[in-house]
Each structure stands twice: as C-alpha cells, then as structure tokens.
Amino acid sequence: MTSSPEPTGASARRGPFIAGERVQLTDAKGRMHTLTLEPGKQFHTHRGHLVHDDLIGLPDGSTITNTAGTEYLAMRPLLSDYVMSMPRGAAVVYPKDSGQIVAMADIFPGARVVEAGVGSGALSMSLLRAVGDQGSLHSIERRADFAEIAQGNVRAFFAGDHPAWQVSVGDFADVLPTVADPGSIDRVVLDMLAPWECLDAAADALAPGGVLIAYVATATQLSRVAEAMRAHGGYTEPQAWESIVRGWHLEGLAVRPQHRMHGHTGFLISTRRLAPGVTPPLRKRRPAKGAYGEDGTSHGETDGVDVSNTTGEWTAEDLGERPVSERKIRKLRRSASEPPPE
C-alpha cells in the first residue's frame, strides 16, 4: 500500500515553527501581521517588539507577548490569508471565487489543467492544491513581469517549486497547441479580458466532457463570452453565476450581519466540451424580446453605448480596472526574485 504524498504549502506543515516560514500574528483586536521567521530578527510595532527566536520552536496555535505586554496568537497562515496579504501586480481572484472554481469545475487530484491569466498567482495556488503533486497545471500569462511575480508568490507559499506547475509566457491561443496535445486536457480555466478569443484553442485541447470555466469582471464580458460559447457549437449550454459572501458579527446576543462584505468581485461562467461532431440539442426556451437583432446576433449597443468593441482589443481601462504602475511592477519583480532566507 503506497502512502499519499505529504501536503505542501504554508498551512500544510506540521510541527513547530521553523526559520524561513511565514507566521501570522493576530492581536486582541483582530489585527493581523504576517512575518517570515529569521533568527536574530525582531518584529516591531508602535506597541513594542518581539524577537523571532522566541517564536521559532513554538507549536502552531501558540500565544506570545511582546515587550509592551501585547499578546498575539501565532498561527501558520491559511492559503486564503496568504492570498490577501501577498505582493500583487494584478488583481487577485478572491478565495470565495477560487473555491467556486475548484468545486464547480471539479478540479480533482491528478487532473490536467490549463490556466490562462496567472496574474499574481492566487488562483494558481488553489488549482495546485486541488490537482496535487500527481496532476499538472500549465499556466499561460501574456506579461512576463506578472508571471515572475506569480512564480515568486507561489514559490514562497509552497516553500519551493511545485512539481505539478509549469508557466509559459505568451498568448493562450499560440502557446496552448505547443504544450498540450489535442484532447489531452481535463479542465481549462480562463481569467483574462477577452476569453471568447480562446474558445477555439480550448476546444481543441479539451477532452470530451472536459470543463471550461471563465472568470470575468463585467456583465458585458459575461454576455459576450456566453454568446461565443453558444455560437462555437462544440460546447454545452453555458451556466453563469456570482458569489457574494457576508460575514456575521458574533458578540453575545448581538448577532447581526457585518457592515462590510465581499460583494461583487466577478462572474463565473462554465461549459463542457462536446464530443467531436456532436451537435448540441436545440435550445427550447424563448429568448427575451430585444435580446437579439433581426439577424439573430446580439446587439452591439446598450442604451446608446457601444459595447461591441470592434477593434477586438480589450484593456484593463475598458473594464474600469485601475492599471498597475511600472514602478510598482519593478519593485514586485525584485521582491519575487529575491531568494528566501536560509
């Protein structure tokens, strides 16, 4: 009987804290600080300091008091904690959406997965956790600087290179045929500005029954990718949804929803690959009046605003996303390329 591989990642380690790993400190007011343990180093706040050596060797879930009497709970950060605090060049996929992608796309141990749009590596880490060491994840990113930042974040979380991960820089439609044989991929995950441009390449790589899932930011993108999936003819009827998470305040009898919540972050849309030559069943439901033009295609204008984007080039600014400055990218790349402390 073979033993299962040891889980990898910051929160998967067992035993006492060791030098070089990340530890999350939480004070009595719930404020969190994440630090990398280094012998001889100190952690300072305006309320005193503590020595890293006092944390090294403690078990996970311990408490420690600094020089000013402030007590902290020390724990290894969960993946969701790490994602929200790690260096980022591109906007990250929030844990609530990563969990939906892993579950609804049925990312299983040993799966062969291709991801387009690695960003800062947040979704990549969830996918790697799901496929395990025996699976494979090939991430394709157009920007070399984003790919470098993501590799640094993933390497820091897993304490080294993950055996199931490969990263390529380039356009999805150009790179995918060179790294995947036709019908060899189980799942395709798209997190990009124009996923409808990648449907042909994804269809060629996906095995029959394979899942394609896309994460998009706006309703305009959602509509366009849905219509492109239907027009392709090689996919099942797409399904779309969003997840909204609302925390609750728990204090004695004062139990109520929190004032802040993770509202809309993005839409998810999924479909499955049909077998070659199969025609999908004809849709039976009647479309809403005005949903399509006289020629059967969707309208390119909504309330007088042109959403067709005839140039075919979509930018982050088109979707209201704040661009990342080149100065910040250079700083993050330097940080990602630095070797972890011994």
Cα–Cα dist 15/19, whole Å: 12
Cα–Cα dist 103/2, whole Å: 27
Cα–Cα dist 108/135, whole Å: 8
- List where CATH 3.10.330.20 sits in the chain: 10-77
pLDDT at 2: 42
pLDDT at 286: 66
Query: pTM score, two decimals?
Result: 0.79
- List where CATH 3.40.50.150 sits in the chain: 82-326
- The contacts of residue 170 (CB under 8 Å, 6+ apart) are 140, 142
pLDDT at 4: 43
Cα–Cα dist 79/34, whole Å: 13
pLDDT at 44: 92
Cα–Cα dist 198/318, whole Å: 19
pLDDT at 262: 75
To the nearest 10°, report the CA torsion of 128, 131, 135, 137: -40
Q: Is 134 helix (H, G, I), strand (E, B) or coil?
A: coil
pLDDT at 299: 46
Cα–Cα dist 127/197, whole Å: 23
To the nearest 10°, report the CA torsion of 168, 212, 83, 13: -90
Q: Is 49 helix (H, G, I), strand (E, B) or coil?
A: strand
CATH class of 82-326: alpha beta
**Tens digit of pLDDT per residue, the chain (342 long)?**
444 444 556 556 788 999 988 899 999 988 889 888 999 999 998 889 999 999 999 999 999 999 999 999 999 999 988 888 887 777 788 899 999 999 999 999 999 999 999 988 999 999 999 999 999 999 999 999 999 999 999 998 888 899 999 999 999 999 999 999 999 999 999 999 999 999 999 999 999 999 999 999 999 999 999 999 999 999 999 999 999 999 999 999 999 999 888 788 899 999 999 999 898 777 776 666 666 666 555 544 444 334 445 455 666 666 556 677 788 788 788 777 776 665
Judged on CB neighbours under 10 Å (0-12, 13-18, 19+), 34 is: middle
In the numeric block, the tokens 């800062």 are attached to: 120
**Beta pairing class for 71-75 and 62-65:** antiparallel
If you count them, how many residues does the chain have?
342
Cα–Cα dist 101/241, whole Å: 11
pLDDT at 132: 95
- The contacts of residue 18 (CB under 8 Å, 6+ apart) are 37, 56
CATH class of 10-77: alpha beta
Neighbours of 86 (CB within 10 A): 22
Beta bridge partners of 33: 25
Q: Is 221 helix (H, G, I), strand (E, B) or coil?
A: helix
Q: Is 271 helix (H, G, I), strand (E, B) or coil?
A: strand
How many whole angstroms from its chain centre is CA 227?
Answer: 24
How many whole angstroms from its chain centre is CA 30?
Answer: 25
The token pair that represents 79 in the structure block? 């993946």
Cα–Cα dist 107/60, whole Å: 29
Separation of first and last alpha carbons in the chain? 36
- The contacts of residue 195 (CB under 8 Å, 6+ apart) are 116, 214, 216, 221, 225
Amino acid at 329: I
Residue 221: left if φ>0, alpha if ψ -120 to 50, beta else—which one?
alpha
